[in-house]
Amino acid sequence: MRLKYTSLVALFCVSFYAQSQILTLQDCIELAIEKNISIKQSELDLANAEIDKKNAFGSFLPSVNANSSHSWNIGLNQNITTGLLENVTTQFSSLGFNMGVDIYKGLQNVKRLHRSNLAIIAQQYNIANITENTSILIANSYLQVMFNKEFLEVQKSQLEVSEKELERTNVLISAGVLTIANVFELEATIASQEQAVIQAENNLRIAKINLAQLLLITDYDNFDVAVENFDIPFPLILEETPKEIFEKSLTHRNDIKFSLTNLEISKTDIEIAKAALQPSLSAFYSYSTRISYSDGIERTGVFEETPIGYVAATGEAVNTNVEQRRVVGPDSFWNQFQMNEGHNFGVQLRIPILNGLLSKNNLKRSKVNLLRSQNTFEQQKLNLESDVNQAYNDALGAYNFYKAAQKTVIARGDAYNNATKRFDAGVMNSFEFTQIKQRYEASVSDELRSKFDYIFKLKILEFYFGLKLEI
């Protein structure tokens, strides 16, 4: 019972996993966006841009630094108590901190903050543009799978029809209406259609693998797309002119917005470079103190007469009162901390005169980058206009081809039905009948292919116009 239960659970898990890999178009797009490496890289660029914004905001804040040190001086030094040179060890500690703030810097900090905001917006547009391009790529691959699915069904249906034709032909031969020669051509047709079915199955598998690879799915066997019923879209978008579609695309295309934002960044870089040529004013303040751990000399308040010389004529000693001193340990830490503290503050004016032409060259380089950004933007507009015109012509041609393919299917379907009646009546040989049947089947395949080609090209045109990608 336990083995049976385990087997049922495993079977359920496998079935659930397989079902979870049947994806709709929206599922495929979301999965591709989630796993797309280019999008992940752009998201990292966005994270860096947000860090740069924090740096730009931090430039408005004062800079504060603390410092401390403790040193040992070992070797031949003068003993402060005896005045003699001795090998002694002395120690010192120092503490301090300093603070500086920009008062005026040519508004560089303001402009850098503005630039960092533009950089964040640019990365957001870049991510959105990559996402849109990924969606188009996935939609194309998804439609390829859908086309190959339907094409396989068409090939199987045509094979079934040919097999039924062969059965009916054998009945007519038995009835004496047709001869055995009519079977050979039909058998050759069936063999050819069996090959077409195998080829269609291979094409479907390849299309699935291509889509799975875009989604970074490695389990090809348990991956499939959902069978979605969709209506053939009516080409309302073709009522717009290419110029109208182009002008509309300029307002919403993320690649255009990305280029425009980069253009604004280049203009801001010029303003930052100009600001670097202006004088700057900053304020500063610093505090410091030091502590010594060496012994000191302290006055005792006791005086005693000490001879300092003699009178030359009488030989009488000359004395003076000298206050006695004594060696004591170092003063307390906090007393020294307060006695030795010092303050330093002021303002500093910096006027750029010559720095190896660095600032002027940065300004020239920023102007060159602005021209490059302008050229890139103009080129992108030209490319977009060309793409819109191409997409419009492709969609219009695909629509007309699809309508013509529909008419062809109807006409050749009528011819095929008529040929079937004549073949059954024995007034048409199998070769002629097979030729008419193959032309009809080819028209059905052409209609199916033109349908999916029309759908994709129409969606591309709608995408340029700003409509949501839906099938």
pLDDT band at 295 (very low <50, low <70, confident <90, very high): low
CA 320 to chain centre: 90
Mean per-residue pLDDT of the chain: 85
Mean pLDDT of 2-12: 39
**Any idea which of 49-63, 156-170, 264-278 has the lowest mean pLDDT?**
156-170
Number of Cβ within a 10 Å radius of residue 105:
19
The amino acid present at 238, given as its one-letter code, is L
Answer yes or no: are the C-beta atoms of 295 and 419 closer than 8 Å.
Answer: no
The per-residue pLDDT for range 177-205, each reduced to its tens digit, is: 666 777 787 888 889 889 999 999 999 99
Whole-number Å distance between alpha carbons of 13 and 19: 10
**Any idea which of 27-36, 65-74, 324-333, 339-348 has the lowest mean pLDDT?**
324-333
Whole-number Å distance between alpha carbons of 16 and 409: 41
In what order do the strands lie in the sheet containing 63-78? 63-78, 85-104, 280-292, 342-350
Please give the backbone phi and psi of residue 97, each rounded to the nearest 5 degrees, phi first: -155, 155
| 3-state SS string for the chain | CHHHHHHHHHHHHHHHHHHHCEECHHHHHHHHHHHCHHHHHHHHHHHHHHHHHHHHHHCCCCEEEEEEEEEEEEEEEECCCCCCEEEEEEEEEEEEEEEEEEEECCCHHHHHHHHHHHHHHHHHHHHHHHHHHHHHHHHHHHHHHHHHHHHHHHHHHHHHHHHHHHHHHHHHHHCCCCCCHHHHHHHHHHHHHHHHHHHHHHHHHHHHHHHHHHCCCCCCCCCEECCCCCCCCCCHHHHCCHHHHHHHHHHHCHHHHHHHHHHHHHHHHHHHHHHCCCCEEEEEEEEEEEEECCCEEEEEEEEEEEEEEECCCCCCEEEEEEEEEEEECCCCHHHHHHHCCEEEEEEEEECCCCCCCHHHHHHHHHHHHHHHHHHHHHHHHHHHHHHHHHHHHHHHHHHHHHHHHHHHHHHHHHHHHHHHHHHHHCCCCHHHHHHHHHHHHHHHHHHHHHHHHHHHHHHHHHHHHCCCCCC
Predicted local confidence at residue 410, as pLDDT? 94
Whole-number Å distance between alpha carbons of 318 and 310: 5
Question: What Å distances lie between residue 465 and 82, 253, 462, CA to CA?
Answer: 96, 9, 5
Whole-number Å distance between alpha carbons of 6 and 75: 83
**Tokens standing for residue 336:** 């020294």
Share of residues in the chain with pLDDT > 90 (%): 42
The per-residue pLDDT for range 114-164, each reduced to its tens digit, is: 999 999 999 999 999 999 999 999 989 998 998 898 889 888 988 888 888
